[in-house]
């Protein structure tokens, strides 16, 4: 699968990037790329991206990485929403509803095996008593 990704070039502490088209299995440092689609320098505003070639490759089926996708939206080459590329598992929602407590397992129901030893699960049926066949009569007489 073809990917549009950033390839780091430049000096130490003076990074700049190339926007390249490559196979997804190739490393960005391998040098095996199909086409250079532009350059991006985060320290300067002089970015040169070949918009027509990027649109062509996206139309053919190439996928852009998350950062490149956000960069293309910033430069108004493609339309859409930006992607959260941070390592957070779920994005923070400002107007989110609080999570219902019933949906989450409680610490009483889920715990370490040593905490629940001898505990009867709430859904377990009540123990059935065996019918007594003969009544047990205790004798109060002491045998001599």
- With respect to residue 122, please indicate whether it lies within any of the assigned structural domains: no
56, 35 contact by CB (below 8 A): no
CATH number at residue 36: 3.30.1320.10
pLDDT in tens, 38-69: 998 888 877 889 999 999 999 999 999 999 99
- With respect to residue 90, please indicate whether it lies within any of the assigned structural domains: no
Say which residue, 125 or 16, is predicted with more confidence: 16
- With respect to residue 79, please indicate whether it lies within any of the assigned structural domains: no
Side-chain-side CA neighbours of residue 94 (13 Å): 0
pTM attached to this predicted model: 0.56
- With respect to residue 9, please indicate whether it lies within any of the assigned structural domains: yes
Domain with 70 in it = 2-74
Q: If you ran DSSP here, which 8-state letter would residue 118 be given?
A: T
| Residue percentage of the chain with pLDDT more than 70 | 58
57, 4 contact by CB (below 8 A): yes
pLDDT at 104 over 60: no
pLDDT at 86 over 70: yes
Q: DSSP for the chain, please give it.
A: -EEEEEEEEEETTEEEEEEEEEETTS-TTS---SEEEEEE-TTSS--EE-HHHHHHHHHHT-EE-HHHHHHHHHTTSS-SPPP--SS-SS---TTPPPPPTTTSPPTTTS--TTTTTTPPPTTSPPPPPPPPSS------PPP-
pLDDT at 138 over 70: no
Number of domain units in the chain: 1
- With respect to residue 142, please indicate whether it lies within any of the assigned structural domains: no
pLDDT at 85 over 70: yes
Mean pLDDT of the chain: 76
Strands (E), the chain: 2-11, 14-23, 35-40, 48-49, 63-64
- With respect to residue 40, please indicate whether it lies within any of the assigned structural domains: yes
- With respect to residue 22, please indicate whether it lies within any of the assigned structural domains: yes
């Amino acid at each position: 699968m073809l990917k549009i990704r950033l390839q780091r070039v430049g000096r130490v502490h003076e990074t700049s990037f190339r926007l390249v088209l490559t196979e997804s299995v190739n490393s960005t440092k391998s040098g095996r790329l199909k086409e250079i689609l532009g350059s991006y320098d985060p320290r300067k505003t002089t970015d040169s991206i070949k918009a027509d070639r990027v649109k062509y490759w996206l139309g053919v089926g190439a996928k852009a990485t998350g950062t490149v996708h956000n960069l293309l939206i910033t430069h108004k080459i493609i339309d859409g929403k930006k992607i959260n590329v941070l390592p957070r598992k779920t994005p923070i929602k400002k107007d989110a509803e609080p999570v219902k407590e019933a949906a989450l397992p409680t610490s009483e129901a889920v715990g370490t095996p040593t905490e629940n030893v001898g505990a009867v699960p709430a859904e377990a049926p009540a123990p059935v008593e065996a019918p007594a066949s003969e009544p047990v009569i205790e004798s109060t007489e002491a045998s001599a």
